[in-house]
Structure 1
Amino acid sequence: MNGAIRCDHVQFYVEDLCATAEELTAAYGFVELLAEPSGGTAARSVVLGQGSIVVALTEPGAAGPGRDFLDAHGDGLARIGFSCTDLRSVYARAVAGGARVIEPPRRFRPVWMAAVGGVGDVVHTLVEQPPDTPTVFLPGIGSVPRGPVHAELGLQEIDHFAICVPPGELARVAAHYQLAWGFERIFAERIEVGAQAMDSVVVASRDRGAVFTLIEPAGAQPGQIDYFLGRHGGAGVQHMALRTNDIVATVGALAARGVKFGHTPAAYYAELPNRLARTRHELLRLRRLGVLADRDHNGDLYQIFAQSGHPRGTYFTEIVERDGATTFGANNVKALFEAKQRELDQDSDVRSVS
């Protein structure tokens, strides 16, 4: 495929810009790169960075697509930006493959930009600019300094996105990303926990610069994917996984700053040595933090879910370390699924008591 693509930035629409920016800076160690306050009913945006991660937060005005998104879904990850080496060919293929046109290609010297629809109301923003440009261009916001931002807590880059789709939509959405974007299908799995179940397919750009885990509910009893779809109001990004080179140090630092993580039962760690005789991190440290570990033919994978602080309890963050591993923790997916379900069950119990 002409015009290689990589994840460039993400944009959240939020009701309270200051509170969300404070959470990402104080709890997650992000650094403010750009702030564009406006008066009246105009949108306000803040751009944050850590490692190569660029996160734009926008509090929409009284009308427009951002306000429509918030009314339908609440705070959420609304745009996933792709950097393109040949934007017009990427755009042409996406549209020919059925992607909805949001903004046709336009040039802002020396930058080309466009936008097309993704899953549900998620939009893919496309940006092409010379590689030696000292800034990163964010459509509708402006330019921010290019280059890695000091990763205070060790978060380096976006590893993947998990996107939930309604029952019966998984095959169609996966095929769309293969046809319209040239993504490759690299993994598929079904997870069952009692009467709850989910099916997932992982698709990725050819150079793995953009990776999507697509998930649909598939159980006789509603579970966490059904919960997301109901509370979010349809398909959308359930979580974004951020990669670190030392998950023990990063999760420890995040926990010290107040980030809460999903609980993993002691039985998981009692069985872990039977699967992994040796790991880069000591078992006791993994257990103390609740970090999960898995191994593929290329190396080890460590991962953990943060508890959701979202007003609707939908979106959350995952922390990942890849010590050579290239897959997605097949032995951990069930444990992560169960951990997230326990969090939702506990939250439901609290609400019923109150």
Structure 2
Amino acid sequence: MNKIFTFIFLSIGQLLVGQTAFHNFGDIQIHDEGKIGFHTNLINDGMFNSNLGLAGFYGEDLLNVSGTSIAEFYNSEIDVLDGLNLETSMGVYNTLEFINGKVFTPRNDLDITLDFLQANYNGESDYEHVDGYAALFGNIDFTFPIGDEDKLRPLSISKPNSISTFKSAYFYEDPNSPTTFTTLFDTNSFAPILSKVNDKEFWDLDGDQAVEVTLTWDLDSDIKNLTEDIELLRVVGWNNKTLRWDSLGRNDVSGDLEEGDITSISFVPDDYEVLTIAAEPSGNDFTINTGFSPNGDGLNDYFEIAGLDLSQENSIEVFDRWGELVYEKQNYDNTWGGISENSITVTEGIVVPVGTYYFLLELKDKITKKNRTYRGWVYINY
């Protein structure tokens, strides 16, 4: 690997190269095929953002990038065993190569990020990634090379409709007691269609354009504590308005209980504080027609739950995939024909669209007089 120091001045300025820092006060440009290698800290207080060629960071001890201006490189590579610490943002236009070491950004300051300006990267691993926030400026499918300490846990987004900025970081910590957020993300507070929320990890994703999001899991995610069936997994987001985890659905899921990934439906990340993985319930003790067709043909037109006569009192609530209530009734008598009673997501008084719906059934046992709660799902088709 050639580490050649080649640069040209665009205008006369002050440039100091010493044992502790390469300090730019003026205007510098790396020309096409030019290369510059930093074996010391970079302080950029001038113009250093119209570059071609390669800028590399090399060494064993931690290096710092700081200053009042953002340095933006065409190609860059990181080969610093103890890592590269960003005290101001740094951008890459074309390709970033992770060779050795992580890129550190502060988790309590989203204004400092490693910026991918429609750029790509290579070489990411458990020991080479962004420990903190990475940012994308563009409109491409993109996977953030993010992690926490020696754990790479990428997050992917689908291509947004327009050029936008997205920022993301991964947190290997309990969302009930986050270290850099003032909000506590209570994993016992969730939409009724969910049964359990992961308390091992979470991601932060910021952006104002609708995208699909893919999260990953590994053994440390303890997915088996959520469910034995990965088909019941869902992406969830913390809703600051309702103070609960909402389901963001599942468009795709693959893997097993030890390792895999899950893709959400499309949503706007800024509507949710953080994201993680949760599970929906696997069933209940009743005999339920898990699919019915309210088309008026006299066959299987109603949502029926056999065994409700075991309870003198019951109540049921039915929710769509967004967690919005579409139907509720005290002392349910198996007569719901798929008509919406709420106009938030489905016009009130019409039959709900084809899809999976989730119910929350509460009943009082005749003998013990205690309330019992059951969660489940039903598929509606025509």
TM-score after normalising by structure 1 = 0.26
User: Where is the helix percentage greater, Structure 1 or Structure 2?
Assistant: 1
User: Where is the strand percentage greater, Structure 1 or Structure 2?
Assistant: 2
Q: Which has the higher contact order (CA 8 A, sep 6+)?
A: 1
